[in-house]
Amino acid sequence: MDEDPPLAPGDARTIGFLKTLVTVLTVTMIAGVLAIIVLLVIRLQAPAPLPALPEAIVLPEGARPAALTFAEGWVAVATEGGRLLVYARDGKLLGEIDLTSP
């Protein structure tokens, strides 16, 4: 087998410099990916806050909202007790549905 000729001193320094650059780039990319993963985990763990109920809507005593749906002329409030309350924008109760699972 043929052996490669020895490198000139200038070539050896250039190859060493390139190795260092590749290593720094690899470490930087790994740190960047880890930072993105950490930020995603932090952001996705926090529950999204519910939007505020309009001031005109008053829920029955002891009812706590679990979900809200805003439409053109009405607001639906699903309560933690398993009821769906539908209000007009002015606060008038339009209907109530008991939510039961089969």
Beta bridge partners of 86: 76, 95
What confidence tier does 84 reach under pLDDT thresholds 50, 70, 90?
A: very high
Q: Are 69 and 80 in contact (CB under 8 A)?
A: no
Query: Which is higher by pLDDT, 54 or 96?
Result: 96
SS3 assignment, position 70: strand
Residue whose structure tokens are 């950490």:
38
Query: β-strands 65-70, 74-79: how paired?
Result: antiparallel
Q: What is the pLDDT of residues 39-63, one digit of tens each?
A: 999 888 878 777 788 888 889 898 8
Q: Are 82 and 73 in contact (CB under 8 A)?
A: no
Q: What is the mean pLDDT of residues 91-100?
A: 90
Q: For the sheet containing 83-88, what is the strand order?
A: 65-70, 74-79, 83-88, 93-98
